[in-house]
Structure 1
Amino acid sequence: MKAIVKYQTGDGFIGLRDVPEPEPGEGEVKIAVQAAGICGSDLHIWHGDIEIPVKPPVTLGHEFAGVVTALGPGVTGLQVGQRVTAENSHSVCGGCEYCMTGDYNLCEERLATGYAYDGAFAPYCVVPAKRVHVLPDTVDFLTGALSDPSACVYRAVCEKGAVGPGDTVLILGVGPMGLFSTQYAKLSGGKVILAGTAADAARLEIGRELGADCTVNVTQPDAVDNVKRFAGRSGIDVVLECSGAPDAARLGLQLIKKRGRFVLVGIYGRPFELDFDQILYKELVVKGMFSHKYKAWEKAISLAAQGLIKAKPLITDILPLSEWEKGFRRFAERKAIKVIFEPQRA
Structure 2
Amino acid sequence: MRAVRKLKPGPGHIALCNTPEPDIEHPDDIKIAVQSGGLCGTDLHIRHGGYGSRPPVTLCHELSGEVVKVGTNVTRIKTGDRVTVLPTASGACGHCRYCRASEFFFCPQRKSVGSMRDGGFAEYCVIPQNLAFPLPETVSYDTAALVEPLACCIKAVLFHTKIVPGDLVLVSGPGPIGLICADLARLAGGRVIVCGTDRDAHRLAMAKGAEHTVDVTRENVSEYIRSLNSDGADIVIECAGAAASIDQCLDAVRPLGTFTQVALIEHPVEVNWGKIIYKQLSVNSSIAQNWPSWQRALEMVIAKTIDPSTYISHRLPLENWEQAFDGAERQEGLKYVLYP
Q: TM-score range by the shorter chain?
A: over 0.9
Question: Contact 2:222–2:232 (CA<8 Å) still a contact in 1?
Answer: no
Q: State the one-letter code of the partner of 2:306.
A: I
Instruction: Give the structure 1 partner of residue 54 of structure 2.
Output: 55
Q: Does 1:198 align with 2:198?
A: yes
| TM norm structure 1 | 0.94
Instruction: Give the structure 1 partner of residue 243 of structure 2.
Output: 246
Q: State the one-letter code of the partner of 1:84.
A: V
Instruction: Give the structure 2 partner of residue 339 of structure 1.
Output: 336
Q: How do residues 274-289 of structure 1 correspond to structure 2 at under 5 angstroms?
A: 274-289=271-286
Instruction: Give the structure 2 partner of residue 255 of structure 1.
Output: 252
1:291: how far off? 0.4
In 2, the alpha carbon distance for the partners of 1:281 and 1:20 equals 58
Residue number among 215, 218, 232 corresponding to 2:216 in the alignment = 218
Instruction: Give the structure 1 partner of residue 298 of structure 2.
Output: 301
Instruction: Give the structure 1 partner of residue 98 of structure 2.
Output: 98
Q: How do residues 153-164 of structure 1 correspond to structure 2 at under 5 angstroms?
A: 153-164=153-164
| TM norm structure 2 | 0.96
Instruction: Give the structure 2 partner of residue 28 of structure 1.
Output: 29
Instruction: Give the structure 2 partner of residue 76 of structure 1.
Output: 75
User: What is the SS of the residue equivalent to 2:181?
Assistant: helix
Instruction: Give the structure 2 partner of residue 125 of structure 1.
Output: 125
Q: Does 1:324 align with 2:325?
A: no
In 2, the alpha carbon distance for the partners of 1:164 and 1:110 equals 35
Would the alpha carbon gap of residues 215 and 327 (structure 1) be closer, same or farther in structure 2, given more than 3 Å must change? same
1:234: how far off? 5.3
1:179: how far off? 0.7
In 1, the alpha carbon distance for the partners of 2:163 and 2:19 equals 45
Q: State the one-letter code of the partner of 1:239.
A: V
Instruction: Give the structure 2 partner of residue 64 of structure 1.
Output: 63
Question: Contact 2:182–2:194 (CA<8 Å) still a contact in 1?
Answer: yes
1:30-62 CA-partner distances (Å, limit 9, x unpaired): 1110000110010111121x3x22111111111
In 2, the alpha carbon distance for the partners of 1:140 and 1:225 equals 41
Question: Contact 1:163–1:188 (CA<8 Å) still a contact in 2?
Answer: yes
Question: Contact 2:221–2:248 (CA<8 Å) still a contact in 1?
Answer: no
1:164-213 CA-partner distances (Å, limit 9, x unpaired): 31111100000000110111011111000100111111111110xx1201
In 2, the alpha carbon distance for the partners of 1:300 and 1:234 equals 33
Q: State the one-letter code of the partner of 1:92.
A: A
Q: State the one-letter code of the partner of 2:292.
A: K
Q: Does 1:314 align with 2:296?
A: no
Instruction: Give the structure 2 partner of residue 37 of structure 1.
Output: 38
In 2, the alpha carbon distance for the partners of 1:111 and 1:242 equals 25
Residue number among 286, 289, 298 corresponding to 1:292 in the alignment = 289
Q: State the one-letter code of the partner of 2:38.
A: G
Question: Contact 2:256–2:282 (CA<8 Å) still a contact in 1?
Answer: yes
In 1, the alpha carbon distance for the partners of 2:61 and 2:258 equals 30
1:215: how far off? 0.6
Question: Contact 2:61–2:87 (CA<8 Å) still a contact in 1?
Answer: yes
Question: Contact 2:222–2:251 (CA<8 Å) still a contact in 1?
Answer: no
1:137-177 CA-partner distances (Å, limit 9, x unpaired): 32100111111111100111100112231111100000000
> Identity rate of aligned residues, in percent?
37
Segments of structure 1 that go 5 or more residues without pairing to the other structure are none
1:242: how far off? 0.5
In 1, the alpha carbon distance for the partners of 2:188 and 2:116 equals 35
Residue number among 253, 263, 267 corresponding to 1:266 in the alignment = 263
In 2, the alpha carbon distance for the partners of 1:155 and 1:258 equals 24
Segments of structure 2 that go 5 or more residues without pairing to the other structure are none
In 1, the alpha carbon distance for the partners of 2:239 and 2:324 equals 22
In 2, the alpha carbon distance for the partners of 1:110 and 1:191 equals 38
In 1, the alpha carbon distance for the partners of 2:290 and 2:309 equals 23
User: What is the SS of the residue equivalent to 2:278?
Assistant: helix
User: What is the SS of the residue equivalent to 1:111?
Assistant: coil
Q: State the one-letter code of the partner of 2:138.
A: T
Question: Contact 2:103–2:291 (CA<8 Å) still a contact in 1?
Answer: no
1:221: how far off? 4.7
Instruction: Give the structure 2 partner of residue 236 of structure 1.
Output: 233
How many residues align? The count is: 338
